[in-house]
Each structure stands twice: as structure tokens, then as C-alpha cells.
Amino acid sequence: MMKKLTTAVLSIFVIVSFGLTHQVNAQSPIDFGVKGGLNFATLSSDDDVDSRSGFHAGLVLDFSLPMLPLGVESGLYYTQKGAEFTEEGITITGKLDYIEIPVLAKISVGPPGPFSPHIVAGPYAAYNINSELEASSGSASFSEDFSNETTDLDFGGIVGVGADFNFGITKLNVSARYSFGFSNINDTEFEVDDEKNRVFMISAGIMF
């Protein structure tokens, strides 16, 4: 059921995005593309936890306001979050995977041209599609679903910097961003510390 819902959402996003793209000419302020990169995720917690390395990938829409150094960037991403810690030689990794939609204000900080640095800031909403605990020691490993102990929804903010390289009808984008959750992801009947997602992201994308 979850796979069907995710596929449907992705399909709708692609159809709408291509529709918007084909309705405008090459000078349109609307750009559509794909973006992906690395995640270094952890959790806000009193416990001593390390980061989980993962990735994010998805579709992106970029709308620029004519004659102004301001725009809006949104998209639909699959993104891996979580954390890991090691105790008595056993590494335990909390794998939290989401479908995420950010809505970011994008401010250009240089004159118009083929190279355009920018800053971004704004909120995100995410839906959890996988919660898994993996314990490993040497060549042995064990995993267990713990979705009944985590919340389905996550909300937070994103700030970052980046640059666009304009090659006419194609635009390359690179960025570094920090994502910080506002929501406690724990959903247990026990009294535990609040834990919120924290992710440093390095991304590259191509826009059309």
C-alpha cells in the first residue's frame, strides 16, 4: 500500500512538473530538474550518537521572480536520516527514510550572470516510509522494524548556500544545506528524551 501511494505521488509530481515546463518558453522563470547527494544524519539527543551516512534524490522545481534576486525552490525527495552508535563492540544504526517536500526561499547574492551564488531557507514536511534498527558486529548483523515507535510525520527547517551555473537551456546546481527537525520522532509509551532529525546535505543537480 505504501509503495503504491509513493508511486502515485511521484507520478503526479512528474506530470505536473512537465506540464508546467512545456507551457513556458526558454525564458521562463520556471525550471524543472533532478537533484541528489549525500546525507550525514544524526539526532538531537542527550545520548552520544554518531552520524549515519546516506543519500537523497528526487525532483526539483525552481521558480524565479522576474527582475528580482528572489525565487522559490521546492521538490519531492527520497531522503535517508537517522543515526548510529557503538556500544561494547556492537554498532546500532537507526535507519529513518522519508519522502520529503521542502519549500525554500532562494535569494541570489550576486549580479545576474552564468554564475549565481545564493542562500536558501524555509520549511520542510516529510513522511516516514521506513524505520529500521540494524545491529552489527563483525560479519554478523540483525535488523528489526521499529516503525511502531516512530512518528509518521516530520516537520522542520532547512538553511543553506549554493550556486547555479547557467549554460543556456541547462543549469547546474550545487549546494550545501543543514536540515533541522522541529518534531520529536519518538512515539513510544515510555518516557524518553526528545529526538529530532539533524542532517547535513551536499547536493548536485541539473535543471532544464
- Cα 97 from Cα 67, distance rounded (Å): 39
Residue 8 has pLDDT above 60, yes or no: no
Residue 125 has pLDDT above 50, yes or no: yes
**pLDDT on residue 15:** 45
104 φ/ψ angles, rounded to the nearest 5 degrees: -120, 135
Average pLDDT, integer, range 57-61: 98
Tell me the per-residue pLDDT of 182-191, one tens digit each, with 9 for 90 and over.
999 998 776 6
Report which of 151, 157, 172 is spatially closest to residue 37, judged by C-alpha positions. Answer: 172
Tell me the per-residue pLDDT of 137-151, one tens digit each, with 9 for 90 and over.
888 889 999 999 999
Contact 17, 32 (CB under 8 A): yes
Average pLDDT, integer, range 191-196: 82
- Cα 154 from Cα 160, distance rounded (Å): 19
Residue 32 has pLDDT above 70, yes or no: yes
This prediction has a pTM of 0.84
CATH class of 2-207: mainly beta
106's CB contacts (< 8 A; 6+ apart) are 62, 64, 70, 71, 72, 73, 118, 119, 120
Contact 182, 198 (CB under 8 A): no
* pLDDT, averaged across the chain: 88
